[in-house]
Amino acid sequence: MALLRSVSNSFSAVFRHFASSSGCTIYSLSSGHVKCGVSVIRVSGPQTKQALRAIVNNSEYEPKQRQAYLKSFYHPTSKEIIDRGLLLWFPGPASFTGEDACEFQVHGSLAVIAAMLDALGKLPGLRPAQPGEFTKRAFFGGKLDLTAVEGLSDLIHAETEAQRKQALLQSTGTLGRLYDNWRKRLIRCAAHLEAYIDFAEDEQIEGGVVLKLTKELKAVQREIRAHLNDQRQGELLRDGVRTVIIGAPNVGKSSLLNLLCQRAVSIVTDQAGTTRDIIETTHSFGGYPVVFADTAGLRKHTTDAIEVEGMARAKQCLAQSDLILLLADAKVLRDVDSNESLNGRIDSYLQELDIPKELCRGKRLQLVANKTDTLSAEEINHLRKLKDVLCISCHKQDNLPEFLGSLEQLLQQICGTPQAEHPRITHSRYRQQLERCIEHIEIFLRDYKPDVYPDMAIAAQQLRKSVRCIERITGHVSCEDILDVIFKDFCIGK
């Protein structure tokens, strides 16, 4: 049938590409180009065993798989010893790439590394690996799908604990298995429909097959929609929560940024309007990545051209943010008597700052009352009873642990907690393809009416397109433009 032929042709194209690109053996330093105690040099390809035999200077050497051997390593031309270290042999297909592979663990001096790479380069059939080529071979060898590849890349670049957890789950296939399940169900629906189209008149195929596959399609559609309705938690955790500190001039925005980052990022003076440009800094906050942005103070009327430009940039930064820390002087909030009146006060404060409401739409806004050291104890206790206000004194650092704890809880709500049972979307291209997949299913369900009997062959094309959308995520179809973007971000030895 047409769908099965399409899937078969896609896989054939992928494996033809893999076969043409894996004829040579590649090598590279995998542990980073820095001085260290131990460095790892990786080799993968059909000439791997000949290469390791040449390096250990024994043409009949037969190492046992997955065992470490302490060996002397020699230069194949001069026969001089380079170093003494560990050798590990991983015969294919039970290796990271699916090919024969080995690792040389040597001392991490630059001279030893250079000598080992030079020795491997002198061997026939070997060449230096390109960036990401080991992982690319693992992908084409069927060891990883594209979601696992991108999870591995995210794991390499993870800077916070929460990022590490999310990337590890994705690199081990939790997201890929979810998408592959949808893909298989859609293929089954499309195959049943095409069988019904091709053979229903000649064979005794059950007439209710279309009703059954329609029910299954609606179930897949519901699951994908629920998956998409995640408030972009996975993407925010991967890329960092863009957090803008906004408020009136001289309300303490720069002081708050310095306090959060525990260093002097912004200049702080008694003079209003010190900050004119956007000052950004990335920080790990409670295991969550945050991109803090200090901005110029906002007000309605000014004749200073530089201040006008600074306020325009502050609003642009606000429009691109995920979290707004709206900083206000605690004295202007001390007469607020309820959460209902607090919402009105926030609206009026935004008007004072000349911030249109649409700029804040779809973003998390958190009101922060600074300078609580200017209030009485009774007034501070009153403010703390309002559930939507965080209180702090940047000057005296009053209530700092409670403030930091509340901010960490807020970030946890925004980013969520990575779970194997509920893998999240981590890349915008996943979201785009899943939305297109839903659209194709919707078109099929809308156009196919059992009582009208339209041209089902045309309607079936929508199911093929829905399958292709999933396959573009996992890499089951040839998508060279996507592959080039993904693998170029890897280091050379990965």
pLDDT tens track for 160-197: 999 999 999 999 999 999 999 999 999 888 888 777 76
Residue 483 falls inside a structural domain? no
Does the pLDDT value for residue 15 go beyond 70? no
Q: Are residues 401 and 254 in the same domain?
A: yes
Residue 489 falls inside a structural domain? no
Kindly report the CATH number assigned to the domain that includes residue 223. 1.20.120.430
Q: Supply φ then ψ for residue 471, to 5 degrees.
A: -65, -30
Burial per residue of 456-492, b for 16 or more beta-carbon CB atoms within 10 angstroms, e otherwise: beebbbbbbbbbbbbbbbbbbbbbeebbeebbeebbb
What share of the chain has pLDDT > 70, as a percent? 87
Residue 207's pLDDT band, with cuts at 50, 70 and 90, is low
Residue 353 falls inside a structural domain? yes
- Sequence-ordered list of residues with C-beta below 8 angstroms from that of 246, at least 6 positions apart, any chain: 253, 295, 298, 314, 318, 324, 325, 326, 327, 353, 355
Q: Are residues 438 and 397 in the same domain?
A: no
Of 448, 363, 399, 425, residue with least CA distance to 170: 425
Domain that holds residue 393: 239-266+280-298+305-415
Q: Are residues 244 and 334 in the same domain?
A: yes
Q: Supply φ then ψ for residue 280, to 5 degrees.
A: -110, 145
From 95, 125, 143, the end of a domain falls on 143
Tokens, residue 484: 């080039």
Q: Are residues 114 and 73 in the same domain?
A: yes
Residue 3's pLDDT is 44
Kindly report the CATH number assigned to the domain that includes residue 20. 3.30.1360.120
Residue 486 falls inside a structural domain? no
Q: Are residues 284 and 406 in the same domain?
A: yes
Residues 316, 242 contacting (CB under 8 angstroms): no
Residue whose token pair is 């380069």: 121
Alpha helix (H) residue ranges in 172-304:
174-199, 209-228, 233-239, 253-261
Per DSSP, 398 falls in state B
Residue 478's pLDDT band, with cuts at 50, 70 and 90, is low
Is the backbone peptide bond immediately before 128 cis, with ω within 30 degrees of 0? no
Mean per-residue pLDDT of the chain: 85
- Total domains, the chain: 3
Residue 305's pLDDT is 87
Q: Are residues 208 and 320 in the same domain?
A: no
Residue 151 falls inside a structural domain? no
Q: Are residues 221 and 253 in the same domain?
A: no
Q: Are residues 245 and 370 in the same domain?
A: yes
Q: Report d(CA 158, CA 284) in Å as an integer.
A: 11
Residue 494 falls inside a structural domain? no
